[in-house]
């Protein structure tokens, strides 16, 4: 197998932008080569151009999804940016008396830590009030991990101790050193594949949407398209949470900031 060349890297930069809206810098050259090398070996290919042609031939949809999975960066952990969960707690407690379901969407849920964190807060606050959590991602690989809900023990270090005891089971035997999100909570979280760069499927409307730490990979034009698309799924007076390092400045006027990285949709 030959090392990836700059023109070949450019092919994959265009590929992941077209498929996922992700702008991948030239500094990711080693990452692209490292993540795709096994696929070249699997198909007995010598060059990355040959693999690119395989992906774009129109005859290998499964391989296209594998390549997207491998090139999509998925970094997350439980209760990341805790102030957002404090805000969710406040809004969930205010909704305890209502009869309609309180719905939250983790729009870039990766391997599920964010979605299960949301579910823990809702289960704790809402008691008999119905609630739902939807987790979506473009990567089928991470969604499979999310549905399993099995994590290395160190990944739980940010989970509040009372939640860890209440909602997580310590592994033993072959699962020594891991923990499992307990079945009842797990059953309340739905995961499905969704590409934020195309028209949304029918997923209903949400009280809160978490679109965090994903826009950093998008161009300004893609950010505008994705944010406006996501906001259409937000209920009037619903809230959108983005990452603390992200901004909606010059991206949209459809929501107004009410707290650091928290925005409300007008009625």
CA 148, CA 174: separation in Å to the nearest integer?
A: 15
Residue 115 near residue 191, CB atoms below 8 Å: yes
Residue 218 near residue 226, CB atoms below 8 Å: yes
**Token pair belonging to 156:** 């739980």
Q: Which residues are catalytic?
A: 35, 137
Helix (H) or strand (E) holding 123, with range, is helix 113-126
pLDDT of residue 128: 87
pLDDT of residue 116: 98
Determine whether domain 6-71 maps to CATH 1.10.155.10.
yes
pLDDT of residue 97: 87
Residue 161 burial class via C-beta count within 10 angstroms: exposed 0-12, middle 13-18, buried 19 and up: exposed
What are the backbone dihedrals phi and psi of residue 241, each rounded to the nearest 5 degrees, phi first? -110, 130
* 10 half-sphere exposure, CB direction, 13 A CA radius: 3
CA-to-CA separations, 107 to 4, 48, 114, 226, 229, in angstroms, rounded: 32, 31, 10, 11, 11
Residues in the chain: 267
pLDDT of residue 74: 66
CA 219, CA 125: separation in Å to the nearest integer?
A: 37
Instruction: Tell me the longest C-alpha to C-alpha distance in the chain.
Output: 63
Residue where the block lists tokens 């030959």 = 2
Q: What residue spans define the domains of the chain?
A: 6-71, 82-265
Determine whether domain 82-265 maps to CATH 3.40.50.150.
yes
Residue 104 near residue 134, CB atoms below 8 Å: yes
Phi-psi region of 235 (alpha: psi -120 to 50; beta: other; left: phi over 0): beta
Tens-binned pLDDT, residue by residue, of the chain (267 aa):
899 999 999 999 999 999 888 888 899 899 899 999 999 999 999 999 999 999 999 889 989 999 998 888 667 899 999 999 999 999 999 999 889 999 999 999 999 999 999 999 999 999 889 999 999 999 998 999 999 999 999 999 999 999 999 999 999 898 899 999 999 999 999 999 999 999 999 999 999 999 998 888 888 999 999 999 999 999 999 999 999 989 999 999 999 999 999 999 987
């Amino acid at each position: 197998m030959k090392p990836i060349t700059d023109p070949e890297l450019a092919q994959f930069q265009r590929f992941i932008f077209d498929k996922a809206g992700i702008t991948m810098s030239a500094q990711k050259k080693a990452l692209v080569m490292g993540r795709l090398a096994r696929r070249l070996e699997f198909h007995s290919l010598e060059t990355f151009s040959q693999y690119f042609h395989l992906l774009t031939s129109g005859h290998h949809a499964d391989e296209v999804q594998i390549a997207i999975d491998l090139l999509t960066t998925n970094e997350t952990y439980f209760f990341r940016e805790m102030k957002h969960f404090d805000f969710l707690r406040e809004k969930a407690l205010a909704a305890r008396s209502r009869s309609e379901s309180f719905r939250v969407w983790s729009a870039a849920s990766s391997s599920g830590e964010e979605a299960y964190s949301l579910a823990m807060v809702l289960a704790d606050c809402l008691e008999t009030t119905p609630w739902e959590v939807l987790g979506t991602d473009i990567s089928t690989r991470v969604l499979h991990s999310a549905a399993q809900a099995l994590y290395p023990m160190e990944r739980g270090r940010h989970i509040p101790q009372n939640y860890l005891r209440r909602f997580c089971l310590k592994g033993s035997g072959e699962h020594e050193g891991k923990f499992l999100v307990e079945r009842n909570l797990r059953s309340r979280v739905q995961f499905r594949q969704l590409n934020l760069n195309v028209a949304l499927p029918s997923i209903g409307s949400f009280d809160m949407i978490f679109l965090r730490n994903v826009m950093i990979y998008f161009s300004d034009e893609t950010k505008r398209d994705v944010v406006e698309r996501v906001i259409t799924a937000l209920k009037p007076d619903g809230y959108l949470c983005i990452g603390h390092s992200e901004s909606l400045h010059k991206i949209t006027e459809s929501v107004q900031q009410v707290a650091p990285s928290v925005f409300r949709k007008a009625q």
